[in-house]
Protein backbone atom coordinates (compact mmCIF):
# COMPACT_ATOMS: atom_id res chain seq x y z
CA UNK A 1 0.00 0.00 0.00
CA UNK A 2 1.07 3.60 -0.60
CA UNK A 3 1.09 6.27 2.12
CA UNK A 4 3.18 9.16 3.43
CA UNK A 5 6.27 8.30 5.49
CA UNK A 6 7.34 10.89 8.06
CA UNK A 7 10.90 9.58 8.05
CA UNK A 8 11.34 9.67 4.26
CA UNK A 9 9.11 12.76 4.05
CA UNK A 10 7.49 11.43 0.89
CA UNK A 11 4.99 8.86 -0.36
CA UNK A 12 6.38 5.33 -0.02
CA UNK A 13 5.25 1.74 -0.38
CA UNK A 14 4.37 0.08 2.93
CA UNK A 15 4.05 -3.61 3.82
CA UNK A 16 1.17 -4.77 6.03
CA UNK A 17 1.69 -7.38 8.74
CA UNK A 18 -1.80 -8.23 10.07
CA UNK A 19 -0.45 -10.75 12.61
CA UNK A 20 1.49 -8.02 14.37
CA UNK A 21 -0.83 -5.15 13.46
CA UNK A 22 2.06 -3.27 11.84
CA UNK A 23 2.87 -1.27 8.72
CA UNK A 24 6.53 -1.01 7.69
CA UNK A 25 8.03 1.40 5.17
CA UNK A 26 9.86 -0.52 2.45
CA UNK A 27 12.32 2.36 2.00
CA UNK A 28 13.51 3.24 5.52
CA UNK A 29 12.03 0.46 7.69
CA UNK A 30 9.87 2.75 9.83
CA UNK A 31 7.23 0.66 11.64
CA UNK A 32 3.81 1.98 12.66
CA UNK A 33 0.98 0.25 14.52
CA UNK A 34 -2.41 0.00 12.86
CA UNK A 35 -5.74 -1.79 13.31
CA UNK A 36 -6.31 -4.22 10.41
CA UNK A 37 -9.98 -4.86 11.25
CA UNK A 38 -12.08 -2.15 12.91
CA UNK A 39 -14.82 -4.67 13.69
CA UNK A 40 -12.56 -7.30 15.22
CA UNK A 41 -13.20 -8.84 18.63
CA UNK A 42 -12.57 -6.91 21.81
CA UNK A 43 -8.95 -8.04 22.02
CA UNK A 44 -8.10 -6.83 18.53
CA UNK A 45 -5.74 -4.13 19.76
CA UNK A 46 -3.57 -6.52 21.75
CA UNK A 47 -0.98 -9.19 21.09
CA UNK A 48 0.47 -11.99 23.16
CA UNK A 49 3.38 -11.44 25.52
CA UNK A 50 5.90 -12.92 23.08
CA UNK A 51 4.72 -10.63 20.29
CA UNK A 52 4.78 -7.67 22.64
CA UNK A 53 8.34 -8.46 23.69
CA UNK A 54 9.35 -8.87 20.07
CA UNK A 55 7.95 -5.45 19.16
CA UNK A 56 9.77 -3.80 22.04
CA UNK A 57 12.98 -5.55 21.03
CA UNK A 58 12.50 -4.39 17.44
CA UNK A 59 12.29 -0.81 18.63
CA UNK A 60 15.53 -1.33 20.60
CA UNK A 61 17.34 -2.68 17.58
CA UNK A 62 17.63 -6.26 18.82
CA UNK A 63 16.04 -7.68 15.68
CA UNK A 64 17.78 -7.36 12.29
CA UNK A 65 16.40 -4.72 9.94
CA UNK A 66 15.13 -2.30 12.60
CA UNK A 67 16.26 1.08 13.87
CA UNK A 68 18.54 0.71 16.94
CA UNK A 69 17.35 2.86 19.79
CA UNK A 70 20.86 4.12 20.59
CA UNK A 71 21.89 4.60 16.97
CA UNK A 72 21.76 7.72 14.82
CA UNK A 73 21.38 5.74 11.62
CA UNK A 74 18.48 3.90 10.04
CA UNK A 75 18.43 0.31 8.81
CA UNK A 76 20.29 1.37 5.64
CA UNK A 77 22.99 3.14 7.69
CA UNK A 78 21.82 6.57 6.57
CA UNK A 79 22.16 9.35 9.19
CA UNK A 80 19.10 10.26 11.24
CA UNK A 81 18.72 13.85 12.36
CA UNK A 82 18.51 14.71 16.05
CA UNK A 83 14.88 15.75 15.55
CA UNK A 84 14.01 12.46 13.87
CA UNK A 85 15.88 10.49 16.54
CA UNK A 86 13.75 11.94 19.33
CA UNK A 87 10.63 11.58 17.21
CA UNK A 88 11.47 7.87 16.90
CA UNK A 89 11.81 7.67 20.66
CA UNK A 90 8.35 9.20 21.04
CA UNK A 91 6.90 6.73 18.55
CA UNK A 92 8.50 3.88 20.45
CA UNK A 93 6.94 5.06 23.70
CA UNK A 94 3.57 5.48 22.01
CA UNK A 95 3.79 2.01 20.44
CA UNK A 96 4.70 0.36 23.73
CA UNK A 97 1.84 2.16 25.43
CA UNK A 98 -0.53 0.97 22.71
CA UNK A 99 0.07 -2.61 23.79
CA UNK A 100 -0.88 -2.12 27.45
CA UNK A 101 -4.70 -2.15 27.34
CA UNK A 102 -5.83 -5.76 27.63
CA UNK A 103 -9.50 -4.72 27.37
CA UNK A 104 -9.88 -2.07 24.63
CA UNK A 105 -13.63 -1.85 25.22
CA UNK A 106 -12.94 -0.23 28.58
CA UNK A 107 -11.40 2.74 26.78
CA UNK A 108 -14.11 2.78 24.13
CA UNK A 109 -16.96 2.89 26.68
CA UNK A 110 -15.11 5.43 28.81
CA UNK A 111 -14.55 7.61 25.75
CA UNK A 112 -18.27 7.41 24.92
CA UNK A 113 -19.13 8.40 28.50
CA UNK A 114 -16.90 11.46 28.18
CA UNK A 115 -18.51 12.43 24.86
CA UNK A 116 -22.03 12.20 26.26
CA UNK A 117 -21.67 13.33 29.88
CA UNK A 118 -18.24 14.87 30.34
CA UNK A 119 -14.99 13.79 31.92
CA UNK A 120 -16.17 14.31 35.49
CA UNK A 121 -18.92 11.70 35.15
CA UNK A 122 -16.57 9.33 33.32
CA UNK A 123 -14.03 9.63 36.16
CA UNK A 124 -16.77 9.25 38.76
CA UNK A 125 -18.08 6.03 37.17
CA UNK A 126 -14.70 4.47 36.34
CA UNK A 127 -15.35 1.73 38.89
CA UNK A 128 -18.51 0.66 37.05
CA UNK A 129 -17.02 1.01 33.55
CA UNK A 130 -14.20 -1.25 34.69
CA UNK A 131 -16.59 -3.81 36.21
CA UNK A 132 -18.59 -3.79 32.96
CA UNK A 133 -15.73 -4.24 30.52
CA UNK A 134 -12.81 -5.94 32.25
CA UNK A 135 -12.41 -9.64 32.89
CA UNK A 136 -11.85 -11.23 36.28
CA UNK A 137 -8.24 -11.82 37.24
CA UNK A 138 -6.90 -15.40 37.00
CA UNK A 139 -7.26 -15.79 40.77
CA UNK A 140 -10.84 -14.52 40.71
CA UNK A 141 -11.63 -16.82 37.80
CA UNK A 142 -10.32 -19.82 39.80
CA UNK A 143 -12.56 -18.79 42.69
CA UNK A 144 -15.53 -18.41 40.32
CA UNK A 145 -15.19 -21.98 39.07
CA UNK A 146 -15.80 -23.27 42.61
CA UNK A 147 -19.16 -21.48 42.90
CA UNK A 148 -22.63 -22.71 42.03
CA UNK A 149 -23.79 -22.50 38.43
CA UNK A 150 -26.05 -19.54 39.14
CA UNK A 151 -23.25 -17.57 40.82
CA UNK A 152 -20.84 -18.41 38.01
CA UNK A 153 -23.38 -17.02 35.57
CA UNK A 154 -23.86 -13.90 37.71
CA UNK A 155 -20.10 -13.27 37.51
CA UNK A 156 -20.05 -13.34 33.70
CA UNK A 157 -18.53 -10.29 32.03
CA UNK A 158 -21.36 -7.82 31.29
CA UNK A 159 -19.85 -6.67 27.97
CA UNK A 160 -19.91 -10.26 26.71
CA UNK A 161 -23.51 -10.78 27.79
CA UNK A 162 -24.55 -7.56 26.03
CA UNK A 163 -22.47 -8.20 22.89
CA UNK A 164 -23.92 -11.70 22.50
CA UNK A 165 -27.49 -10.49 22.87
CA UNK A 166 -29.60 -9.74 19.82
CA UNK A 167 -29.96 -6.39 18.12
CA UNK A 168 -33.11 -5.77 20.17
CA UNK A 169 -30.80 -5.43 23.19
CA UNK A 170 -27.42 -4.16 21.97
CA UNK A 171 -28.62 -2.05 19.05
CA UNK A 172 -27.62 -2.05 15.41
CA UNK A 173 -23.85 -1.93 15.78
CA UNK A 174 -20.82 -1.37 17.97
CA UNK A 175 -21.45 2.35 18.49
CA UNK A 176 -25.05 1.70 19.53
CA UNK A 177 -23.77 -0.80 22.08
CA UNK A 178 -21.22 1.67 23.50
CA UNK A 179 -23.91 4.35 23.70
CA UNK A 180 -26.35 2.02 25.47
CA UNK A 181 -23.69 1.02 27.99
CA UNK A 182 -22.80 4.68 28.60
CA UNK A 183 -26.44 5.69 29.15
CA UNK A 184 -27.06 2.68 31.43
CA UNK A 185 -23.99 3.49 33.54
CA UNK A 186 -25.08 7.14 33.69
CA UNK A 187 -28.49 6.05 35.00
CA UNK A 188 -26.82 3.86 37.61
CA UNK A 189 -24.79 6.90 38.70
CA UNK A 190 -28.08 8.47 39.69
CA UNK A 191 -29.37 5.26 41.29
CA UNK A 192 -26.25 5.17 43.46
CA UNK A 193 -26.72 8.80 44.48
CA UNK A 194 -23.66 10.02 42.61
CA UNK A 195 -25.21 12.28 39.97
CA UNK A 196 -28.39 14.07 38.94
CA UNK A 197 -31.09 12.15 37.01
CA UNK A 198 -31.38 11.99 33.24
CA UNK A 199 -34.46 11.49 31.09
CA UNK A 200 -34.25 7.97 29.68
CA UNK A 201 -36.90 8.59 27.04
CA UNK A 202 -35.14 11.71 25.77
CA UNK A 203 -31.76 9.95 25.72
CA UNK A 204 -33.18 7.04 23.72
CA UNK A 205 -34.81 9.36 21.18
CA UNK A 206 -31.65 11.44 20.77
CA UNK A 207 -29.51 8.42 19.84
CA UNK A 208 -32.06 6.44 17.84
CA UNK A 209 -32.41 3.77 20.54
CA UNK A 210 -35.35 2.46 22.54
CA UNK A 211 -36.24 2.73 26.20
CA UNK A 212 -36.46 -1.06 26.37
CA UNK A 213 -32.85 -1.40 25.17
CA UNK A 214 -31.56 0.99 27.83
CA UNK A 215 -33.55 -0.79 30.53
CA UNK A 216 -32.23 -4.23 29.49
CA UNK A 217 -28.58 -3.14 29.24
CA UNK A 218 -28.84 -1.39 32.60
CA UNK A 219 -30.31 -4.55 34.14
CA UNK A 220 -27.44 -6.66 32.80
CA UNK A 221 -24.75 -4.29 34.06
CA UNK A 222 -26.41 -3.88 37.47
CA UNK A 223 -26.88 -7.62 37.97
CA UNK A 224 -23.27 -8.53 37.27
CA UNK A 225 -21.84 -5.57 39.16
CA UNK A 226 -23.82 -6.57 42.25
CA UNK A 227 -22.42 -10.09 41.94
CA UNK A 228 -18.87 -8.73 41.80
CA UNK A 229 -19.55 -6.64 44.91
CA UNK A 230 -21.07 -9.66 46.65
CA UNK A 231 -17.89 -11.68 46.16
CA UNK A 232 -15.52 -8.81 46.88
CA UNK A 233 -14.28 -8.38 43.31
CA UNK A 234 -15.58 -4.77 43.11
CA UNK A 235 -16.25 -2.12 45.71
CA UNK A 236 -19.80 -0.79 46.20
CA UNK A 237 -20.50 2.89 45.49
CA UNK A 238 -19.20 5.11 48.26
CA UNK A 239 -22.14 7.55 48.26
CA UNK A 240 -25.47 6.46 49.79
CA UNK A 241 -28.62 6.66 47.70
CA UNK A 242 -31.39 9.04 48.79
CA UNK A 243 -34.33 6.79 47.94
CA UNK A 244 -37.03 9.40 48.54
CA UNK A 245 -35.29 12.06 46.45
CA UNK A 246 -34.86 9.52 43.70
CA UNK A 247 -38.55 8.64 43.82
CA UNK A 248 -39.47 12.33 43.58
CA UNK A 249 -37.15 12.91 40.62
CA UNK A 250 -38.56 9.93 38.75
CA UNK A 251 -42.14 11.05 39.39
CA UNK A 252 -41.37 14.41 37.80
CA UNK A 253 -39.67 12.73 34.85
CA UNK A 254 -42.57 10.31 34.30
CA UNK A 255 -45.28 12.98 34.31
CA UNK A 256 -43.31 15.05 31.82
CA UNK A 257 -43.02 12.07 29.47
CA UNK A 258 -46.67 11.03 29.90
CA UNK A 259 -47.93 14.53 29.09
CA UNK A 260 -45.64 14.57 26.08
CA UNK A 261 -47.14 11.27 24.87
CA UNK A 262 -50.69 12.54 25.50
CA UNK A 263 -50.13 15.85 23.71
CA UNK A 264 -51.28 14.44 20.36
CA UNK A 265 -54.64 13.34 21.83
CA UNK A 266 -55.44 16.21 24.22
CA UNK A 267 -55.67 19.99 23.88
CA UNK A 268 -53.42 22.38 25.77
CA UNK A 269 -56.28 23.21 28.12
CA UNK A 270 -56.96 19.53 28.78
CA UNK A 271 -53.26 18.82 29.39
CA UNK A 272 -53.10 21.63 31.94
CA UNK A 273 -56.19 20.28 33.69
CA UNK A 274 -54.76 16.74 33.68
CA UNK A 275 -51.42 17.93 35.07
CA UNK A 276 -53.07 19.82 37.93
CA UNK A 277 -55.39 16.93 38.87
CA UNK A 278 -52.58 14.38 38.53
CA UNK A 279 -50.35 16.12 41.09
CA UNK A 280 -53.28 16.63 43.46
CA UNK A 281 -54.04 12.92 43.32
CA UNK A 282 -50.40 11.89 43.69
CA UNK A 283 -50.06 14.08 46.77
CA UNK A 284 -53.28 12.76 48.29
CA UNK A 285 -52.10 9.14 48.11
CA UNK A 286 -48.80 10.11 49.81
CA UNK A 287 -46.48 9.95 46.81
CA UNK A 288 -43.69 10.37 45.96
CA UNK A 289 -42.55 9.10 49.35
CA UNK A 290 -40.97 6.09 51.01
CA UNK A 291 -43.59 6.11 53.77
CA UNK A 292 -46.81 5.87 51.74
CA UNK A 293 -49.04 2.87 51.12
CA UNK A 294 -47.53 2.37 47.67
CA UNK A 295 -43.88 2.79 48.72
CA UNK A 296 -43.09 -0.83 47.81
CA UNK A 297 -44.50 -0.38 44.30
CA UNK A 298 -42.39 0.70 41.35
CA UNK A 299 -42.83 4.47 41.03
CA UNK A 300 -43.26 4.20 37.25
CA UNK A 301 -46.30 1.94 37.66
CA UNK A 302 -47.70 4.14 40.46
CA UNK A 303 -47.38 7.22 38.24
CA UNK A 304 -49.05 5.36 35.38
CA UNK A 305 -51.92 4.24 37.61
CA UNK A 306 -52.46 7.76 38.95
CA UNK A 307 -52.48 9.21 35.44
CA UNK A 308 -54.98 6.60 34.26
CA UNK A 309 -57.23 7.33 37.24
CA UNK A 310 -56.94 11.06 36.55
CA UNK A 311 -57.92 10.66 32.90
CA UNK A 312 -60.83 8.42 33.84
CA UNK A 313 -62.15 10.98 36.33
CA UNK A 314 -61.93 13.64 33.63
CA UNK A 315 -63.45 11.26 31.05
CA UNK A 316 -60.39 11.64 28.80
CA UNK A 317 -59.05 8.10 29.01
CA UNK A 318 -60.27 6.69 25.71
CA UNK A 319 -57.31 5.28 23.76
CA UNK A 320 -54.70 6.62 26.17
CA UNK A 321 -53.48 3.39 27.81
CA UNK A 322 -50.56 2.83 25.44
CA UNK A 323 -49.50 6.50 25.66
CA UNK A 324 -49.37 6.27 29.45
CA UNK A 325 -47.35 3.05 29.26
CA UNK A 326 -44.83 4.63 26.89
CA UNK A 327 -44.55 7.69 29.10
CA UNK A 328 -43.45 5.70 32.15
CA UNK A 329 -40.71 3.81 30.35
CA UNK A 330 -42.54 1.46 27.99
CA UNK A 331 -44.08 -0.45 30.85
CA UNK A 332 -46.96 -2.86 30.34
CA UNK A 333 -50.32 -1.08 30.08
CA UNK A 334 -51.92 -4.18 31.60
CA UNK A 335 -49.62 -3.90 34.65
CA UNK A 336 -50.75 -0.29 35.11
CA UNK A 337 -54.44 -1.22 34.82
CA UNK A 338 -53.98 -4.11 37.27
CA UNK A 339 -52.18 -1.90 39.81
CA UNK A 340 -54.96 0.69 39.65
CA UNK A 341 -57.57 -2.03 40.18
CA UNK A 342 -55.61 -3.40 43.15
CA UNK A 343 -55.28 0.05 44.76
CA UNK A 344 -58.98 0.73 44.32
CA UNK A 345 -59.84 -2.59 45.90
CA UNK A 346 -57.55 -1.84 48.86
CA UNK A 347 -59.31 1.51 49.21
CA UNK A 348 -62.80 0.02 49.28
CA UNK A 349 -61.93 -2.60 51.91
CA UNK A 350 -60.36 0.09 54.13
CA UNK A 351 -56.66 -0.76 53.78
CA UNK A 352 -55.85 2.36 51.78
CA UNK A 353 -58.09 5.25 52.95
CA UNK A 354 -56.08 7.92 51.13
CA UNK A 355 -56.70 6.10 47.86
CA UNK A 356 -60.26 7.47 47.53
CA UNK A 357 -58.94 10.02 45.04
CA UNK A 358 -58.16 7.09 42.73
CA UNK A 359 -61.79 5.96 42.57
CA UNK A 360 -63.46 6.69 39.29
CA UNK A 361 -66.09 9.43 39.71
CA UNK A 362 -66.65 9.74 35.98
CA UNK A 363 -69.92 8.92 34.28
CA UNK A 364 -69.31 5.48 32.96
CA UNK A 365 -65.86 6.27 31.54
CA UNK A 366 -64.12 3.25 29.98
CA UNK A 367 -67.01 1.04 30.96
CA UNK A 368 -66.17 1.28 34.66
CA UNK A 369 -68.63 2.05 37.40
CA UNK A 370 -68.91 5.18 39.49
CA UNK A 371 -67.84 5.35 43.11
CA UNK A 372 -70.26 3.62 45.43
CA UNK A 373 -71.77 1.40 42.75
CA UNK A 374 -69.01 -1.17 42.46
CA UNK A 375 -65.27 -1.82 42.58
CA UNK A 376 -64.34 1.10 40.32
Which H or E run contains 200?
helix 200-206
Q: What is the pLDDT of residues 302-338, one digit of tens each?
A: 999 999 999 999 999 888 999 999 999 888 899 999 9
Identify which of 310, 345, 337, 306 has the alpha carbon closest to the alpha carbon of residue 321: 337
Q: Are residues 215 and 319 in the same domain?
A: no
Give strand pairing partners of 208: none
235 falls within a domain: no
Domain enclosing residue 314, as ranges: 243-367
Q: Are residues 116 and 75 in the same domain?
A: no
∠191-193-195 over CA atoms, to 5°?
A: 95
Neighbour-count burial of 362, counting CB atoms closer than 10 A to its CB (0-12 exposed, 13-18 middle, 19+ buried) = buried
Q: Are residues 174 and 191 in the same domain?
A: yes
236 falls within a domain: no
Q: What is the pLDDT of residues 88-139, one digit of tens each?
A: 666 665 554 444 445 678 888 989 999 999 888 888 888 999 899 988 888 8
373 falls within a domain: no
Is the pTM higher than 0.75? The answer reads no
Domain total of the chain: 3
Q: Are residues 217 and 175 in the same domain?
A: yes
293 falls within a domain: yes
Q: Are residues 109 and 226 in the same domain?
A: yes
Q: Are residues 184 and 109 in the same domain?
A: yes
Q: Are residues 149 and 255 in the same domain?
A: no
CA 325, 330, 335, 339 dihedral sign is negative
What DSSP designation does 241 have?
Answer: P
Domain-terminating residue out of 79, 98, 117: 98
Q: Are residues 120 and 147 in the same domain?
A: yes
d(CA 157, CA 136): 8
Q: Are residues 309 and 247 in the same domain?
A: yes
Mean pLDDT of 209-218: 94
* CB contact set of 182 (below 8 Å; sequence gap of 6+): 109, 112, 113, 116, 117
Amino acid sequence: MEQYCENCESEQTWTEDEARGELSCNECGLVEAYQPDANAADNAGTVGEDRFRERVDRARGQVPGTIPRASRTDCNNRPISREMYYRMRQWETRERGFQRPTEPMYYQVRSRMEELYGRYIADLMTFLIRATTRRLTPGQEDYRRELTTSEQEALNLPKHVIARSGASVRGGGEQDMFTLMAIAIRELAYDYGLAAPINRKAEAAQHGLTVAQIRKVKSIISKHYKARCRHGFSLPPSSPTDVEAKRQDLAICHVHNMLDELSSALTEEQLEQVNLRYWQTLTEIGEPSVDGFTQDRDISLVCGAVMLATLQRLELDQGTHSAIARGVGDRSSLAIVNLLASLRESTLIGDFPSGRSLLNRGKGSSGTQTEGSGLF
